[in-house]
Amino acid sequence: MAKTDIIRQLSEHFRRQNIRRVVVLTDENVEKYYPDYFSELSEMVSMDKIVLPIGEHTKSIDSAIQIWQYLAEKQYDRDTFLLNFGGGMVCDLGGFVASTYKRGIRFANVPTTLLAMIDAAVGGKTGVNMQRLKNVVGTFYFPDIQLSADVSLLDTLPQEEIYSGFGELVKYALIGSAELFHELCQSDVFPVIKPEYVDFCIKFKQEVVEKDPKDQDFRHILNFGHTFGHAIESYCAEKGFPIAHGLAVAQGLYYECLLSAKLGYLSQEEWHQIAEFLAKHFEIMPITDKIMPKLLHYMQNDKKNQHEEINFTLLDRIGHATYNHQIQDSTLFNL
Ligand SMILES: NC(=O)c1ccc[n+]([C@@H]2O[C@H](COP(=O)([O-])OP(=O)(O)OC[C@H]3O[C@@H](n4cnc5c(N)ncnc54)[C@H](O)[C@@H]3O)[C@@H](O)[C@H]2O)c1
């Protein structure tokens, strides 16, 4: 999808829904590269813009308060439409503001990072962080319209952010499409991110979320790679060398595939194929006997757990996962 398609989808939606006032929420980087992205829409609606400082620390209740205040001072009413234009930080914060301002206003996401296109902008999870606790305050609140992704926005995205999104993309291939995984394997260098890969991930996530919007059961399938992934992300941050979310997820995929193979769900042949692919594109941190207890500590505090046992999604073949596996600590120590 190109920018013209996004503008067309939005203008049709605004016309149908009689939307007259639109506020764009973005961050400084996206503003720098794409200051006029929505300029054509100003012929049909009044447009305003809020530009946020970049970085995860902006995803806070303080930022939400500032945005609520701005909207209230400018007398934006319940018919105002919020357009979140940015990465996952902007989408999560903007979705949260939209769900709470005047008990909920309409909004849409125009994601600008690969991670946001295939994950954060889809599925209705909004939220802010509280000190070091990620996403601890939030809502389930769905965009008024799910737009297609404009992959050309990735041209300006730093390579590390592309890699981070690629970690999530590989997850979708592993749990949802053997065909996509095998296509990714064909490239010796880092694969070009084709629009159809992004479309597949969006559609896959939408279908899962439709079946379980509030993440009670089936949606847990999307957690593949994230139990180890979140623990590795927290461990690295604590050690003072933070890594991007998707890079931690890629390592999580590696260890959760290993676990799936050790428990007999995944064949040795497929495990070796996946391990080779992940090790080619991502740095995989060795998990020593010294590190495992620290990772376990984070896993035990993971919000995905039930009944105080660590909850895993496992792969039973490339392209298919099963969920809600309670795994004993001793199994993890013997990986
Ligand atoms: N709600 C969900 O379901 C969900 C899912 C996954 C992740 N998330 C959240 O998403 C956030 C991470 O998202 P992210 O990785 O997109 O980070 P981000 O939004 O912080 O963006 C990463 C960096 O890229 C810059 N950037 C964005 N688009 C750009 C572009 N097109 N060109 C150049 N620079 C650009 C940003 O300014 C920022 O510096 C986290 O807060 C995470 O919790 C939410």
CA angle, 257 then 259 then 264, to 5°: 95
The single-letter DSSP state of residue 145 is: S
All domains of the chain, ordered by start, with CATH? Answer: 3-155 (3.40.50.1970), 158-333 (1.20.1090.10)
What type of residue is 34? Y
Q: Which atom of ligand 1 is nearest to the CA of 28?
A: 37
> Tens digits of per-residue pLDDT, 313-332?
999 999 999 999 999 888 99
Nearest residue by C-alpha to atom 44 in ligand 1: 120
Is any atom of ligand 1 closer than 6 Å to the C-beta of 173?
no
128-133 CB contacts, 8 Å cutoff, 24+ apart: 128/59, 128/60, 128/61, 128/63, 128/64, 128/92, 128/93, 128/96, 129/56, 129/57, 129/59, 129/60, 130/60, 130/61
Q: Which atom of ligand 1 is nearest to the CA of 246?
A: 15
> Tens digits of per-residue pLDDT, 251-289?
999 999 999 999 999 999 999 999 999 999 999 999 999
Ligand 1 centre to CA of 332 (Å) is 31
Which positions ≥6 away from 77 have C-beta within 8 Å? 21, 102
What type of residue is 181? F
Give the confidence band of 308 by pLDDT, cuts at 50, 70, 90. Answer: low
The continuous run of DSSP H or E covering 166 comes out as helix 159-176
Q: Tell me what the mean pLDDT of segment 236-241 comes to.
A: 92
Predicted local confidence at residue 254, as pLDDT: 98
Ligand 1 centre to CA of 271 (Å) is 30
The model carries a pTM of: 0.95
The continuous run of DSSP H or E covering 16 comes out as helix 3-17
- Calculate Rg over the CA atoms of the chain: 20
The continuous run of DSSP H or E covering 270 comes out as helix 268-281
Is any atom of ligand 1 closer than 6 Å to the C-beta of 33?
yes
Instruction: Name the burial class of residue 299, with classes exposed (0-12), middle (13-18) and buried (19+) by CB atoms within 10 angstroms of its CB.
Output: buried
Nearest residue by C-alpha to atom 7 in ligand 1: 120
Ligand 1 centre to CA of 205 (Å) is 17
> Tens digits of per-residue pLDDT, 5-37?
999 999 999 999 999 999 999 999 999 999 999
